[in-house]
Structure 1
Amino acid sequence: MSVDPMRYSLQNYLAWATLSLLFAFPKASLGQMATHIVVPGTGVHMTQVGDDFEDESWSFVPNNPKSTEDIDENQRPPLGKSTNGRWYEGAKRGHPDIVKRVATPEGGLPGSEGALLLKSLQTGIPNRPSHKMHQDDFICNVQYRLGGTVPVSQSPSMTTRVYLPPMEDWERRNGPHFAFRAAVETTITESKKQFMFASKEQKEEIYWPGLFILRGVKKVGNQNVPYAYFRIRADRSGGDFLGPELETMGWWTLGISFTPDGLVHYFAKPGTEELTRDDYLATAMPYGYRCEEVRSFFYNVVNSDNGRDWSTDWIIDDPKFYVLKTQRVASRP
C-alpha cells in the first residue's frame, strides 16, 4: 500500500508536532508554554454567546443578496442574521446559502435534538460563477453580546461539534472544504516615510487563525482513495501547516484557546466528548503576532463556485465560548 506523504495518524502527528515546537519556540520557553496551555472548554461558559439549536423556531434571515466585499467591495446591506441575535453574516464574504436547523445526526451529543446545517452553492458573487474556490462566513456574535472584545489575559476559548459526512458525499474537489476559526486583534508598528522624514505608528491588526478541514487523495493499492485532514492557520510566517488525518467520519469536537502569552492552541478529537489535554494538536504564533484580544469565532464553508456543485453538507452543534478569568457575568441562555 502506498501512503500519501500528508497522511498522519493522530499518534504520529503528535510526535511530529512536539518536535516542530523545538524549532518554533526557544527551548527555555517550552516547559512554561506546556504548563500554560489552556484546554478549550476550561473555565466559565459565557452563555450570552454560542448556541445549542434546540429551539424549534430557530431561523436565519438571509437578507439576500449576500456580501462579496472580498471580491468586488460590495457588502449589499443589510447583512443576514439569526432571529435570536447570536449569529450574523460575514461582511467580507457573505453567509452560507443554506443556514437551517436540522435534526441532530446519529451519534451526536446526548439529548441533542437540533443542530445546524451550513451549505453553499454560490460562494462568490451571486449568479456569477467564477469557477474558483470561494468561501462563506457564519459568525458568532461574541463582541457585541459580551460588550466588547475579550482580552487574552482571560484565557478565552471556543469549542464546537461538527459532523463530517461519509467521504463519498463530499464535494468532489481536493482542497479546503470547512474551517473553524477566530477573529482576533493585535497591535503592530508600521514605518511610514513622508518626504525626507520617517516615522513609526502603532495600529490595530485583525487576523483569523483556525482549523481547516481539507479533502485529499491517497493511493491505496491501485486505487485513489479520498481522505480528510487538517491544516492549521498559521505559522510565524503566515503559512498554513499540516495537521493530522481525520481517520473517521461522523462527529468531531474542535477547540481553539488563547493564553496571556499571546499564543494560540489547537485541539481536536473524534466524537462529542469534551476536549482534554490528550486532544492537543499544536501551538502557534500566527504571522509572528502575539494575540491581544478575541473578537469572535466563525465557520467557513468552501466550494468551487461553479454554479453547479454544492459544497459538502456541514452540520454543527453546541458551539460554546469560555473564559478562565472574567469580570463579566454569564447570563441564562
Structure 2
Amino acid sequence: MTQSDPIFRLEGVTRRYGNLTALDGIDFGAEDNSYIALLGPSGSGKTSLLRVIAGFEAPDTGRIWFQGRDITDLPAHERGIGFVFQNFALFPHLTIFENVAFGLRNGATKVPDAEITDRVRASIDMVGLAGLEDRNPDQISGGQKQRVALARSLVMQPKLVLLDEPLGALDANLRERMQTELRTIRERLDVTFLHVTGSETEALAMGDRVAVLDAGRIVQYDTPDAIYDRPIISDVALFLNRFNLFEGTLKDGSFHGAFGAAPVSSVRANDSDVYAIRYDRTRIFDTDASDLPGPALPVRYLASEYLGSSIIFLFETADHKTVEVDHHLSLGEPRDLSVGQNYILSWDPAQAIVFGKEAAQ
C-alpha cells in the first residue's frame, strides 16, 4: 500500500434490513493516519457503516478493503480493526486492567503474560488512567469509562479505530475535553480514527476530513471548512444547522422566495430549488432602512439565545418559518431588539448558496 492509498475502501457496499436500505451502494475511502468524522442524522446509516467495516455485519453487495487487502469475508477478530462502542461495553466484574487486557488474553494468538502487562500498562497510561488499574468500571466516571474503552481497543495495536458516537454519553464540559484528548492520542499513535457522530459541531471540530452520510449514501466528503462554507446539496446545509434555507423558484438568473427576488451567479445541482444563507452572514435592519445590502425579508422578533461567544436571534416570517441570525460578540455589542417588533433581515446575495433543479438537468 502506497502513501497515497486509502487505509480502507468500500466499493458498492449495500446493506439492507428487510425493506430498509441502510447503506446504498457506498463507494468511499479514507486516508491513512487521519481523523475522519462521519456525520449524519439519525437513521442515515452511520452505525451500520461502522459495523460493516468492523465485520460485525456482512454487506449484501460490495467489497471492503483494508490496508490493500479484501477483508469482506474475514471475521471481525481477524481484521485488525479496533471498535469503541457508544455505551463503552465494559465488563463490570473485571478490573480496569483486565478489561483492557481482555482482547490480548482471549485472542487467537497467545501473548506472553509479561507482554500483556507491558502493553496494558502502556495503553492505560496513554489515556491518562495510570493508578486506576485495580478499580472496577462502577468505581470510575463516564469520561474514565470512555478512556478504558479506548485503551482496550488501542492495546490491540490496530491501524484503524472505529468510534461509534464515543462522546454521546458525556456531559458538555467533558465532551469538549475529550475531543482534544482523542485527537492528541490519535496523532501520537499514527493511527486512523473513524468517528461517528450526529453532532455537526463535533464533526467539524474533530475531523481532518468530514464525510456526510444521508439516506445510506456519502453525499459529501471534504475538509471541515469546505463542508461548512460549501455544502454540496441543500440537505447538507440543512444538517449543518448554520443556514437559513428558503424554498422558492429559480428562474432566469434570479431566485424568487419569501424575500422577493435575488440575483444568482451560480447554482448547485439539487432535487429542488433552495436558497441558503448562513446565520452569521445575515444582518438585522429596521423596517424603514434604505441601505439594505440585498434581499429584504420581513420578520418578527421572537427571542435570543446567549451562547458565550455569540448570540442567536430568533425571528419568524409571515408564513411562520423560524429564521436565525448569529451575532458574534467579537464584532461588538448586539442590537437591543424588542420582542414582537417587526424588522428586516438582509444579506449580501453574493454570500448566498443557491441549489436548483436546473443545474441537475
Query: Where on the TM-score scale, by shorter chain, does this alignment land: which range?
Result: under 0.3
Highest Rg: 1 or 2?
2
Higher strand residue share: 1
| Higher relative contact order (Cα pairs below 8 Å, separated by 6+ residues) | 1
Q: TM-score, normalised by structure 2?
A: 0.21
